[in-house]
Amino acid sequence: MVSFDNGERHSPGDENMGFALEPHDHYLEVVFDGVLVKHTVLSSINQLLNHPEYYEKHSLWNMTDSRVGFSMTDIKEIIGVMRLFSPKKADFANRSALLVAGQVNVSLAEIVIEMARSLPFDFKVFSDPSRAKKHLRH
């Protein structure tokens, strides 16, 4: 599989992928860097769902320093895992902002959001960090 970033070709093994979970006042931020692969996304979901403030704080998925390195099949599997482990109670912090760089990535994120519309999350995509954070505060 190949992903594209700023016109350059990259293979998923080009860089190590990492993430960090950073708590803020109103949200939990998952910050990715490198090539974004299924295993890393699933690990970050696991860490987020097990965070003690998960039910009280919305989430910001910051992918501005990463490139997509997974397939549509991987996305379907990730959504399936989210469906299995999504909160069973109706009252939780369900807003999630997907922060991405560039119009192509915005379009890709909107496709993922459409695929995940049956989940109990309110996903929105942003390319402006201040707008994403504002969405999570209100």
Q: 3.40.80.10, 3.30.300.340, 3.30.750.24, 1.10.287.1120: which CATH number matches 3-137?
A: 3.30.750.24
Distance of CA 45 to the CA centre of its chain: 9
Q: Compute the mean pLDDT over every residue in the chain, rounded to the nearest whole number.
A: 85
Full-model pTM: 0.82
Q: What sign results for the dihedral spanned by CA atoms 111, 25, 94, 44?
A: positive
pLDDT band at 21 (very low <50, low <70, confident <90, very high): very high
Listed residue (20, 12, 8, 24) closest to 63, CA to CA = 20
Q: What is the pLDDT of residues 51-97, one digit of tens each?
A: 999 999 999 999 999 988 888 999 999 999 998 888 776 778 889 99
What 3-state class would DSSP assign to 37? Answer: coil
Radius of gyration of the chain (CA): 14
Q: What residue segments make up the domains of the chain, in order of their start? A: 3-137
- Cα–Cα distance list, 68 to 2, 25, 88, 89, 99 (Å): 9, 28, 29, 31, 13
pLDDT: is 2 or 92 the higher one? 92
Position 11 pLDDT exceeds 50: no
Residues 76/119, Cβ–Cβ less than 8 Å: no
Lowest mean pLDDT among 4-8, 46-50, 89-93, 112-116: 4-8
Dihedral sign for Cα atoms in the order 128, 101, 65, 76? positive
